[in-house]
Amino acid sequence: MAARRIVLDDPAPRAAELLAAAAEAGSQIALTGGSTPRRAYELAAEAGSDWSRATLWWGDERCVGPEDERSNFRLAREALLERLPGPGPAIRRIEGELGPVRGAEAYEGALRDTFGAGLPRLDLVLLGLGPDAHCASLFPGAPALDERARAVVGVERAGLAPWVARVSLTVSALAAAGEVVFLVTGADKARAVSRAFDEPLSGAAPASLVAAEAASVTVLLDPEAAGTA
């Protein structure tokens, strides 16, 4: 499906609006890690929405404990959850501390308990994009890209820093979401944006696989990432 591309001087407020609206609607939402979403999470917390009916999942997690500064859950806790004025959402974090194998099994089980057998139908998945065009913890050329039956994979070797094992939703699970939103900023991502959303799909650019398979894809970019600055 062709991705809807939105270029804004600062795309974080738009990402925050999408998150807050989904929360208000009581959605099943998957958050991303990395540094880009921090401001979007802070702004989403300030929007004054009711998060109490929403459920938060994660697209991927580093295999560290929830207090570790590399934890994607910790990022969301600090930037979003602790800042919510009212009751928070249900939390279904990936237990990275269990390691890639047991962590993936546990998360697959949690998804199955909520969504039943088959792929999870998350309402909104927020993703970042790496300079190598990875998304979640699906790195270029990784065996995890070929996984079609499972919703979750353990990733022993990360393709970029931090060099810790990961647990990640698969291409199919990410693409099964009602809406996939990429939030991408900075000139160092411009080439990856072209590879992910303009060029033919390829395992060398994992985000292109998700974008091609998903029913609805929005790409929020700043002018630098869009290559129009």
36 binds ligand 6PG (CB under 6 A): yes
The residue type at 123:
D
- Nearest residue to 37 (alpha-carbon basis) of 5, 78, 85: 78
Q: Which stretch binds ligand 6PG (CB under 6 A): 39-47, 129-137, 172-180, 208-216?
A: 129-137
Q: Which is nearer to ligand 6PG, 62 or 74 (CB)?
A: 62
Which of the ranges 83-91, 94-102, 123-131, 195-203 carries the binding residues for ligand 6PG, by CB under 6 A?
123-131
As measured in angstroms, the least distance from the Cβ of 193 to ligand 6PG is 12
- Binding flag, residue 45, ligand 6PG (CB under 6 A): no
Is residue 55 a contact residue for ligand 6PG (CB under 6 A)? no
> Is 163 among the residues that bind ligand 6PG (CB under 6 A)?
no
DSSP 200: P
Tokens of 114: 């909520």
Q: Does position 33 bind ligand 6PG by CB under 6 A?
A: yes
The answer to whether 192 contacts ligand 6PG (rule: CB under 6 A) is: no
Q: Is 90 helix (H, G, I), strand (E, B) or coil?
A: strand
Describe the crossing of helices 38-46 and 72-79 by its angle, rounded to 10 degrees: 40
Residue 42: its H or E element: helix 38-46
Within a 13 Å sphere around the CA of 51, how many CA atoms are in the beta-carbon half?
Answer: 26
The partner residues of 219 in beta bridges, in order of sequence, read 5, 182
Nearer to ligand 6PG, 49 or 151 (CB): 151
Q: Which residues bind ligand 6PG (CB under 6 A)?
A: 32-36, 60, 62, 72, 128-130, 134-137
